[in-house]
Amino acid sequence: MFGQYITHVKCSLRPLPPTPTPEIQRNAIQPCDRYDFVSGSRPLPATPTPEIQRKAIHKENQDEPGHSVERNELLNIDDAGYITPEWPDEENGAGYINTRDLETTSHVDDPYYEDVEDVDEVYDQLPTITLTEPAESSESLISQLDNGYKNEMRIVLIGKTGAGKSTTGNLLLGKEYFTAATSPVSVTKQCCRGESTYHERKIVVVDTPGLFDTELSTEEIHKEIIRCITMSVPGPHIFLILLQVGRLTTEEISTLDQLFDIFGKNMSKFCMIVFTRVEDLSRRGDTIDKYILDGGPILSKYIKKCDGRYFALENPHLEENKLKESLRLFEEINIIVSQNKNAYFTNAFYKDAKDSLNTSLKLTFDYQEKNNKKKLLEIETDCDRKINENRRQRHQLGDELSNQNEVKRQLKSKREALLKLGDDGTAREELGKLDIENDEWYIRMSNIKMEKEQTENQYEEIKAEKKLLLEARTGDFMKELEKAAAIAIREQTKLMEPHFLKILKKQQEIQDLKTWFESGVHLSTKQMRKSYMDKEKRASKTERGSGKKIRKERQIS
C-alpha cells in the first residue's frame, strides 16, 4: 500500500520529520484514497450556543457605555443543528483530505477547543456587514454581505519577517496601517486585516507575519493559516509572495511548500512573487531577470508555480516612489484579476468557512427578526391602545354634544313657553333662571368642543407617533442586526478554528508520513535496492514507450 505513494508524491525539500508511530501511520493512511487525498462530506462546527452568544453580547454591551440593549434583546439562538454541505469530488482536489472519520464531539469535551485563544484584537478584524437597505429575510442579509464582497479586492501577503510585507501592505492601502518591522523581530505574530478605499475601490489586505516564524509551533502556524482564511473570506483575489532579493532560506522553502500543499494547485492561478530590496541589485549593476536566472532551480520552481508571474518592487520607502510603485503594483494585480475573470481563490477550507458563517447568519437573522416582530407588536399594541382610548373619548364627547344640543332645545322650548305667559313676575323670574342656565350651557358646550378638538388633534399625533416609532424601529433593527451579525461571525469563527486545526493536523500527519516513507528510512538495504531497481525499470519502460511513439509518428509523417 505504501508503494502507491512513491509514484504519486514528489519529494519534499524540507527536513525529514521524526518517524511517526504505528498508530499515527494507521490513522493517517485510513482515510486516503489510492492516489489522491479526496475530501468527502465534513462535519462543520456547531453554531454558537445561546450561552456563548449571551456572553459575547453582554461583554460587548459592557464595553459600550450608554448602551440601552436589555437582557431580553441578547442573541438567544436555539440549538437547532444544520445540514452539512457536501461538494462533488472534482471540487475537492485542493489538498483537502477526507474528514469522514472525524468524531463529532462537543466543544466542551474536545481538547482542541481548550487551545482556542480568545484574542479579541484578532476577531475584531473579521469581515462585517454594513446594511444599505432593510433586510427582509436571511437571504437578503447574506446577499448584502455577498454584495459587499463583490466590491472588495482581497489581497493576502505572504513572506518572512523583514521581507517588506508591512511596507507593501501600507502601499496597497494608501496609508500607514501596518507597523513595519525595523529589526528581525516581528512586531506581531498574528494575522492583521487592513481596509481602505484606494484607487476607487475597497482594498482589503491581510498580513500574515507568523507563517514564517521559526519560533512558532506547527499548531500555532496552523492557527495563523486559519485566521488568514477567516479574515479573507470568501477568498483572496491574489496571494502576494514577498521574497527579499538574496538566497532563499530553508524556512521560506519549507513554509511555501506547506502553503502550496494546504491550498492546493489551484493557488498557482492567484499568486505572484514580489521581489523586494531590488535597489540592491541596481547598486551591483544587476537586473531582476539576471537575478532570477542565477537563482537556480529552487527559485525557478516557485516562479513556475506562480505561472511565471513576478514583480520587482523598487524603493517603496521613498516618498516620491510610493504613488508610482503603488500604481505599477495595482496594474499587475488588475491584470491577474482580469485573467481570472474577477474570480477569487477558493477551496474547501474557504467554502466550509463561508457556508458555516452563512448558516450562523441565518440563525442570527431568524432570532433578530423574531425579536423585532415582538417589538413591532409592542409598538403597535401600545399605539392602538392609545388610539382606541382616544376613539372612546371622542365618541363620549360626541354623545355629550348630542345631550347638550337636547338641553339647548329644551331651554329654547321653555323660553318660548314663558314668553307666551306675558309680563308676569313669575315668568320674569323663570326667564332669569333660564338665562343663567343658558350661559352655563354655552360654557359647557365650549369646553366640550375644545376637548373634542384636542382629542382629534391627539388622534393625529398618535398616528404620526406610531408611524415614526415604526420607522425608527426599522432603523434600530438594521443596527441591531449589523451588531448581532458581527458577533455571530466572530463567535462562529472561534468555533471554526478547532475544526480546521483537526483537519490541518491530520493533513500534516499524512504529509509527514509520506515524506518519511519516501525517504526509505523504514526499508532495509535489500528493500531499498529492490525499490530503486523497480523505479529504474519503470523509467526505462516509459522511455522505451516514448521512443516507440516518436518513431511511429515520424513514420506516419
Domain membership flag for residue 75: no
Q: Are 456 and 113 in contact (CB under 8 A)?
A: no
Domain membership flag for residue 238: yes
300 and 159 co-located in one domain = yes
Take residue 98 and report the three cell numbers written for it: 477526507
pLDDT at 206: 94
Q: Residue 522: which pLDDT band, with cuts at 50, 70 and 90? A: low
Flag whether pLDDT at 265 surpasses 70: yes
- Beta sheet of 201-207, edge-to-edge order: 192-198, 201-207, 152-158, 238-244, 271-276, 310-312
Domain membership flag for residue 40: no
Angle at 229 between CA 126 and CA 247, to 5 degrees: 120
389 and 305 co-located in one domain = no
Q: Please state whether beta strands 238-244 and 152-158 pair in parallel, antiparallel, or not at all (unpaired).
A: parallel
69 CB neighbour count, 10 Å cutoff:
15
pLDDT at 91: 38
Q: Which of 99-113, 340-354, 501-515 has the lowest mean pLDDT?
A: 99-113
Q: In the chain, helix, strand, coil percent, each to 5?
A: 60, 5, 30
Say how far residue 192 (Cα) sits from the centre of its chain.
14
Q: Residue 316: which pLDDT band, with cuts at 50, 70 and 90? A: confident
310 and 404 co-located in one domain = no
Highest mean pLDDT among 25-34, 74-83, 492-501: 492-501
Q: Are 494 and 366 in contact (CB under 8 A)?
A: no
Q: For cell 342656565, what's the residue?
A: 437
Mean pLDDT in residue range 245-255: 84
Mean pLDDT in residue range 223-238: 90
338 and 389 co-located in one domain = no
Considering only CA atoms, which of 205, 221, 225, 222 is closest in space to residue 274?
205
Beta bridge partners of 194: 205
Check residues 364 and 36 and name the one with the higher pLDDT.
Answer: 364
Domain membership flag for residue 91: no
Q: Residue 181: which pLDDT band, with cuts at 50, 70 and 90? A: low
277 and 387 co-located in one domain = no
pLDDT at 223: 84
Cα(290)–Cα(342) distance, rounded to whole angstroms? 32
Phi, psi of 203 (to 5 degrees): -110, 130
Is the backbone of residue 351 left (phi > 0), alpha (psi -120 to 50) or beta? alpha
What one-letter code names the amino acid at 347? N
Q: Residue 270: which pLDDT band, with cuts at 50, 70 and 90? A: very high
Domain membership flag for residue 369: no
Mean pLDDT in residue range 103-111: 35
Flag whether pLDDT at 211 surpasses 70: yes
Q: Which of 113-127, 219-233, 367-381 has the lowest mean pLDDT?
A: 113-127
User: What is the tens place of the pLDDT at every residue in 74-94?
Assistant: 333 343 333 333 333 333 334
Cα(268)–Cα(271) distance, rounded to whole angstroms? 5
Domain membership flag for residue 105: no
393 and 329 co-located in one domain = no
Q: Are 204 and 125 in contact (CB under 8 A)?
A: no
Q: Which of 371-380, 436-445, 496-505, 525-534 has the lowest mean pLDDT?
A: 525-534
Flag whether pLDDT at 59 surpasses 90: no
pLDDT at 311: 95
User: What is the tens place of the pLDDT at every residue in 378-401?
Assistant: 999 999 999 999 999 989 988 888
pLDDT at 552: 66
Q: Are 194 and 155 in contact (CB under 8 A)?
A: no
Check residues 130 and 65 and name the one with the higher pLDDT.
Answer: 130
Q: Are 500 and 39 in contact (CB under 8 A)?
A: no
Highest mean pLDDT among 115-124, 242-251, 325-334: 325-334
282 and 341 co-located in one domain = yes
Helix (H) or strand (E) holding 311: strand 310-312
Cα(428)–Cα(70) distance, rounded to whole angstroms? 72
296 and 406 co-located in one domain = no
Last residue of a domain, one of 427, 448, 479: 479
345 and 413 co-located in one domain = no
pLDDT at 10: 37
Beta bridge partners of 271: 239
Cα(203)–Cα(378) distance, rounded to whole angstroms? 43
Last residue of a domain, one of 426, 458, 479: 479
Flag whether pLDDT at 377 surpasses 90: yes
Q: What is the DSSP string of 113-182?
A: HHT----HHHHTTS-----SS---SHHHHHHHHHHHHHTEEEEEEE--TTSSHHHHHHHHHTS--S---S
264 and 403 co-located in one domain = no
209 CB neighbour count, 10 Å cutoff:
24
Mean pLDDT in residue range 466-490: 90
Please give the model's pTM, rounded to 2 decimal places: 0.62
Domain range enclosing 469: 376-479
Q: Please state whether beta strands 201-207 and 192-198 pair in parallel, antiparallel, or not at all (unpaired).
A: antiparallel
Cα(391)–Cα(458) distance, rounded to whole angstroms? 10
Domain membership flag for residue 9: no
The count of structural domains within the chain is 3
Q: Are 359 and 489 in contact (CB under 8 A)?
A: no
Q: For cell 499524512, what's the residue?
A: 510
Is the backbone of residue 322 left (phi > 0), alpha (psi -120 to 50) or beta? alpha
Take residue 517 and report the three cell numbers written for it: 516513507
pLDDT at 413: 85
Q: Are 157 and 145 in contact (CB under 8 A)?
A: no
Average pLDDT over all residues of the chain: 75
Helix (H) or strand (E) holding 425: helix 425-519
304 and 160 co-located in one domain = yes
Say how far residue 242 (Cα) sits from the centre of its chain.
25
Spatial neighbors of 332 by CB under 8 A, at least 6 apart, are 272, 309, 311
Flag whether pLDDT at 30 surpasses 80: no
Domain membership flag for residue 257: yes
Q: For cell 326667564, what's the residue?
A: 431
171 and 201 co-located in one domain = yes
Q: What percent of the chain has pLDDT over 70?
A: 68
Q: Are 245 and 284 in contact (CB under 8 A)?
A: no
Last residue of a domain, one of 421, 453, 479: 479
Q: Which residues of 147-182 are buried (b: 16+ CB within 10 A; e: fewer)?
A: ebbeebbbbbbbbbbbbbbbbbbbbbbeeebbeebe
